[in-house]
Amino acid sequence: MFEILRKSTKSKARVGKLYTPHGVVNTPAFMPVGTQGTVKTMSPRELNEIGTEIILCNTYHLYLRPGHELIREAGGLHKFIGWDKPILTDSGGFQVFSLAHMRKVTDEGVEFTSHVDGSKHFLTPEKVLEIQTAFGSDIMMPLDECVPYPCGKKEAEEALMRTTEWARESKSEILNPKSETISKFQIPTLFGIVQGSTYKDLRKRSAEEIAAIDFPGYAIGGLSVGEPQEEMFGMLDIVTDVLPEEKPRHLMGVGYPSDILGAIKLGADLFDCVIPTRLARHGSFLNYEGKTSIRLAKFEKDFTPIDPECDCYTCKHFTKAYIRHLFWAREITAMHLLTLHNLRFYMRMMGLVSRDIQDGKI
Amino acid sequence: MFEILRKSTKSKARVGKLYTPHGVVNTPAFMPVGTQGTVKTMSPRELNEIGTEIILCNTYHLYLRPGHELIREAGGLHKFIGWDKPILTDSGGFQVFSLAHMRKVTDEGVEFTSHVDGSKHFLTPEKVLEIQTAFGSDIMMPLDECVPYPCGKKEAEEALMRTTEWARESKSEILNPKSETISKFQIPTLFGIVQGSTYKDLRKRSAEEIAAIDFPGYAIGGLSVGEPQEEMFGMLDIVTDVLPEEKPRHLMGVGYPSDILGAIKLGADLFDCVIPTRLARHGSFLNYEGKTSIRLAKFEKDFTPIDPECDCYTCKHFTKAYIRHLFWAREITAMHLLTLHNLRFYMRMMGLVSRDIQDGKI
């Protein structure tokens, strides 16, 4: 399912193609985040327009609302949300550990109360696969345990062990499903998730254990959760040295442009992050200098586009002065126009990096 | 500037073409409202897609924020907001009387404090034209005085007299501008505004006085402000009997589909209203049965479009169940998809009515 077209001679960077039931994804790829079944303020046709090849949706959110059974009845997540290209869904683990209340982790799974309505839920490795099978995700993730940063070594090691055990159970569930609902669908693509907090030996051990189970692709979780960038890069370096080179690697929840550029050089292929969309809703636009608030007084009479080099609808048609006005006037259109630009900025960045790898520059 | 293509033999309805510096408007026409320089949640290309030929922007809002001088510097309102088709701007009168605080009306104009920042302002007939000239509006309105409903006759008559006097001053300002900023621009199209509350004799008198001043088009203000529909129709009937038949008539702020259909039969050509956009943001969609909340439980598993007959992007790609989910999940996309549909519903309705008039059915 993954083909490497070009490997850098200067770094671990590579250019590849990821084949999924809903089409091909050119890597390195950035996945806009459609938390609740929509990339905030965007429509599917606009995602297509800016060059999106794959989006990420959150299992935790969609499981709680509208529920995986409803999505199954709708004909799957692609049909429900009107997006016919690939969808990767996460395991829900990260959200359970960051959003849900009163969670209780045991070897069987994790119990928690919903942040939406306070209802009680119990997610197990099997359940998480059943949910994602109902979605019809192109790439799904096994339940994992995310630890906060910083985290004591004992706690990190326990989470690692549980994550490995759950990965093993998930693989066996896929191969020999106990749950009837899974077997009705085609065998889905399940990635393994590497954890291990910021401990070098734990990261190495987790990567070895997960790689030994053998998955068609790997996700690296628990990074970009507050640790310094160098530490994140250090952990990633260890992990990509262990993971099989011929399989795709998803660095979950990362990040700012500099995080992504650095991670590509360390061998990561897939990225997802709410930064471009969230910053847009808070009024910031992105370019290679970083983020800038459109609300600044200096843009009051700035009748030039956010980025004259950018080919997005926003930059082709509107000025900073206008978007600033819309933002101060609390118009939703401001958030939309900024989201469109920020996502297109990420897409163009991925395209340029890919070209640089192919040209032997990275 | 107005050409009548077909007059009904069964009613006062007519089909026409309104020529403006930014293009032709087929009447009867509905103008989506771009209060602060954007039709809420919509981009100009989407307005084009649904068949919008003209939008209305609010002078009061744009004067307060971002200010007409800034819009002049941007190259005018069309360029500032990225909309190259016709724009009609109102006089600001209605908003001053409904939104502003501590207003004080004299024969010279109206003093008020801004609802945005509490700053003090004084709008005169000349000032209102200067503002709209800075915008470069295709059609502009003279300052008028709107009375609330119900309104005592004495108060209504005083407002009428002031409105007529201000219309006279506005016409003379256009012909022989005292303000330098007006003369720099092309001579704009100024409509006269008929007031008179819900008093038959006052409506007749106002229409006669305003028609005597002679404008290229007429607006009918102060209706659909709380009075019963029959009363609104009664007033409109009186006014359109008086106004010259060959000139376009704009029924300001109207309305629901049944208001518009009735008013077309009474000879109104132009309409603007926030109903389709506001209802959408509150979660309601429109069809010929009226408005319906997408939040209803019965739509939870309704995997059909809002209107299978509708050709809008929303109806072609998404189900009620999905939009309902987005609405409950507080996703902005829900408001956008409903706005797109509701506005397209209005546009299609105007098209059908126009065809029915041309076919001699209305």
pLDDT in tens, A201-256: 999 999 999 999 999 999 999 999 999 999 999 999 999 999 999 999 999 999 99
Chain-chain contact of B43 with A70 (C-beta, under 8 angstroms): no
Q: What is the pLDDT of residue B181?
A: 60
Q: Distance between CA B15 and CA B354 in Å, rounded?
A: 6
The CB density around residue B260, as the number of other CB atoms within 10 Å, is 22
Catalytic, A269? Answer no
Instruction: Determine which of A40, A43, A295, A335 to mutate to test the interface with B (most B C-beta atoms within 10 Å).
Output: A43
Q: Distance between CA B195 and CA B207 in Å, rounded?
A: 8
| A303 interfaces chain B, CB cutoff of 8 Å | yes
Of residues B259, B269, B272, B307, which has the active-site annotation? B272
User: For A66, which residue in chain B has the nearest alpha carbon?
Assistant: B325
Size of interface A-B (CB pairs under 8 A): 108
Q: How far is A301 from chain B (nearest CA, A)?
A: 7
Q: Distance between CA A85 and CA A53 in Å, rounded?
A: 6
Chain-chain contact of B36 with A329 (C-beta, under 8 angstroms): yes
Q: How far is CA A192 from the centre of its chain?
A: 14
Please say whether the beta carbons of B205 and B212 come within 8 A: no
Which segments within B148-274 are labelled E, that is strand? 189-190, 192-194, 218-220, 249-251, 270-272
Report in angstroms the alpha-carbon separations of A10 from A15, A244, A355, A362: 13, 19, 14, 6
pLDDT band at A199 (very low <50, low <70, confident <90, very high): very high
pLDDT tens-place string over residues A289-346: 899 999 999 999 999 999 999 999 999 999 999 999 999 999 999 999 999 999 999 9
User: For B281, which residue in chain A has the nearest alpha carbon?
Assistant: A332
Instruction: Determine which of A317, A322, A337 to mutate to test the interface with B (most B C-beta atoms within 10 Å).
Output: A322
Q: Which of A167, A77, A82, A175 is nearest to A131 (CA)?
A: A77
Count, residues in chain B: 362
pLDDT in single tens digits along all 362 residues of chain B: 899 999 999 999 999 999 999 999 999 999 999 999 999 999 999 999 999 999 999 999 999 999 999 999 999 999 999 999 999 999 998 898 888 777 899 999 999 999 899 999 999 999 999 999 999 999 999 999 999 999 999 999 999 999 999 999 999 998 887 766 655 445 569 999 999 999 999 999 999 999 999 999 999 999 999 999 999 999 999 999 999 999 999 999 999 999 999 999 999 999 999 999 999 999 999 998 899 999 999 999 999 999 999 999 999 999 999 999 999 999 999 999 999 999 999 999 999 999 999 999 98
| pLDDT of A3 over the 60 cut | yes
Superfamily of domain B2-273: Queuine tRNA-ribosyltransferase-like (3.20.20.105)
| Residue A249, beta-bridge partner list | A218
Q: How far is A183 from chain B (nearest CA, A)?
A: 24
The CB density around residue B300, as the number of other CB atoms within 10 Å, is 15
The CB density around residue B178, as the number of other CB atoms within 10 Å, is 11
Q: Which of A18, A44, A48, A32 is nearest to A249 (CA)?
A: A18
| Residue B27, beta-bridge partner list | B16
What are the residues whose beta carbons fall under 8 Å from the beta carbon of B168, sequence distance 6 or more?
A: B213
| B318 interfaces chain A, CB cutoff of 8 Å | yes
Catalytic, A90? Answer yes
Of residues B90, B259, B269, B307, which has the active-site annotation? B90
Q: Distance between CA B249 and CA B31 in Å, rounded?
A: 13
Chain-chain contact of B73 with A45 (C-beta, under 8 angstroms): no
Q: What is the pLDDT of residue B180?
A: 64
Please say whether the beta carbons of B112 and B96 come within 8 A: yes
| pLDDT of A186 over the 70 cut | no
Higher pLDDT: A90 or A177? It is: A90
Give CA torsion, residues B149, B154, B156, B157, to 10 deg: 170
- The average pLDDT across A74-91 equals 98
| Element housing A333 (H / E) | helix A332-358
Please say whether the beta carbons of B186 and B21 come within 8 A: yes
% of chain A surpassing 90 pLDDT? 91
What percent of chain A is helix, strand and coil (3-state, nearest 5)?
A: 45, 20, 40
Cα-based angle B145, B148, B152 (whole degrees, multiple of 5): 95
DSSP state of B354: H
Q: What does the block give as tokens for B85?
A: 């088709």
Closest Cβ–Cβ partner in B80, B300, B301 for A322: B80
The residue ranges of every structural domain in chain A are 2-273, 275-362
Give CA torsion, residues B313, B315, B316, B321, to 10 deg: 120
User: For A304, which residue in chain B has the nearest alpha carbon?
Assistant: B74
Chain A residues with beta carbon closer than 8 angstroms to that of B295 = none
| A258 interfaces chain B, CB cutoff of 8 Å | no
Q: Which of A56, A60, A138, A137 is nearest to A92 (CA)?
A: A60
Closest Cβ–Cβ partner in B41, B42, B326 for A38: B326
Chain-chain contact of B36 with A300 (C-beta, under 8 angstroms): no
Of residues A138, A144, A259, A272, which has the active-site annotation? A272
Chain-chain contact of B322 with A36 (C-beta, under 8 angstroms): no
Of residues A90, A138, A144, A307, which has the active-site annotation? A90
pLDDT tens-place string over residues B139-168: 999 999 999 999 999 999 999 999 999 999
Which segments within chain A are labelled E, that is strand? 2-7, 14-20, 23-27, 29-31, 55-57, 87-89, 101-105, 110-113, 120-123, 139-140, 189-190, 192-194, 218-220, 249-251, 270-272, 284-287, 290-293
DSSP helix/strand/coil, B108: coil
Chain A residues with beta carbon closer than 8 angstroms to that of B41 = 332-333, 336
Q: What is the pLDDT of residue A183?
A: 54
Closest Cβ–Cβ partner in B80, B303, B331 for A36: B331
pLDDT tens-place string over residues B205-241: 999 999 999 999 999 999 999 999 999 999 999 999 9
- DSSP secondary structure of B268-303: --EEE-SHHHHHHHTTEEEETTEEEETT-GGGTT--
Q: Distance between CA B241 and CA A278 in Å, rounded?
A: 56
Instruction: Determine which of B33, B35, B36, B38 to mutate to test the interface with A (most A C-beta atoms within 10 Å).
Output: B38
Q: What is the pLDDT of residue B178?
A: 73
